[in-house]
Amino acid sequence: MGILIDRPIWWFKGQRWSHLVSDVSYEELHRFADALGIPRRAFQGDHYDLPEEYLAQALAAGAELVDPRVLLRALKRAGLRRRPAT
């Protein structure tokens, strides 16, 4: 698949956010985010948090829009899912 993004349904600080992941490698994900101008501080261990206004740009650059459950399954299947620290 490559780069996946879910719908911007996650609310934070008054705006909706998406998750951007790669099911290939973190290197691929970082390259894609860099090309979009997404700062590395948006990387959350296994995904980037993207505000809704980046959705169209990410899709135009080749990201595939998927359901959040599909995104999570793809991360797990690729062995790239990192559990949040407790």
User: Could you identify the residue written with the tokens 């949040």?
Assistant: 84
Which residue type is seen at 27? E
Q: Which two tokens stand for residue 85?
A: 């620290």
pLDDT digits over 2-12, tens only?
999 999 999 99
- Domain boundary assignment for the chain: 3-77
User: So what's the pLDDT on residue 31?
Assistant: 97
Task: Quote the CA–CA distance of 77 and 54 in Å, as a whole number.
Answer: 26
pLDDT digits over 14-66, tens only?
999 999 999 999 999 999 999 999 999 999 999 999 999 999 999 999 999 99
Task: Quote the CA–CA distance of 65 and 20 in Å, as a whole number.
Answer: 10
Task: Quote the CA–CA distance of 86 and 42 in Å, as a whole number.
Answer: 20
